[in-house]
Amino acid sequence: MSQLALKIVPIAGALGAEIHGVDLARPLGDDVVARIRRALLDHLVVFFRDQRLSHEQLIAFGRRFGVLGRYPFVEGLAAHPEIIEVTKLPHEKSNFGGVWHSDTTYLDEPPMGSMLYALEVPPFGGDTLFANMFLAYERLSDGMKRLLEGLRVVNSSAKADVTRTREDRVAANPGKDAHRVFEATHPAVRTHPESGRKALYVNFAHSARFEGMTEQESAPLLDFLFRHQIQPELTCRFRWEPGSLAFWDNRSTQHNPVNDYHGHLRRMLRITLEGDRPR
């Protein structure tokens, strides 16, 4: 398959693009992989529609972009531990990860990216929002940029708002570290290792306080940043269909799965790609 067959269509001004003309179930040439990687760097999150992927094919596609990692709180599939099933059942009220966040920033080396593949979706609702953290940083005042440049943020897996969103999944299929608390300290502003651009690197789900400060002292500035980084003009919205796949750069985006489909089933498969220590 040649990269000439690919069509990349932006879906919003801030970030996000759909990629058409590629069957992810087939072996991809190096030129096609390079084009997808370039689109990811340019648009921060890319989407594919009408895919039909087995577990093995999803894993093979993910491995073209890096080493697959594991999620600490939920066990992967028995035959394919690299994949976790992200399901909300009709009777459940909370959805998995249902707040604005960047994946697992409480780890010393958070993932570089994640892929989510839709198996079953509700008849309406269940969209995912994404936000551009490059723009979130660039639209801060020069004074705020100077203040943040020297600050580091303590990220915790134990913040109450996000722990509630994974209770059902942990109860159903706990991982070996299901009851462990993870903490990691990262710069408030990180430099992307490939593009060199600076991104705001705090998030509502995991960022608890600034290093050397109490949570109470940190709260006013963190609260401002949490509101600032999800302004509508910094975001895009993706409507899922069965066979849709999203691939986002965890180093420069945040996402929020909208929990507006009570009484309906939503079933997805997720894999993550190992990353590096934020700098």
Which residues are catalytic, by number? Answer: 101, 103, 255, 270
Phi-psi map region of 157: left, alpha, beta (phi>0 left; psi -120 to 50 alpha): alpha
Contact 133, 201 (CB under 8 A): yes
Return d(Cα 29, Cα 226) in angstroms, integer: 40
Q: Residue 174 gets which letter from DSSP?
A: B
Return d(Cα 181, Cα 217) in angstroms, integer: 22
Q: Residue 41 gets which letter from DSSP?
A: H
**Count of H helices and E strands in the chain?**
7, 15
Among candidate residues 254, 248, 235, the one with its CA nearest the CA of residue 115 = 248
What are phi and psi for residue 108, nearest 5 degrees? -60, -35
Residue linked to tokens 């690299």: 82
Contacts of 231 by beta carbon, 8 Å cutoff, 6+ apart: none
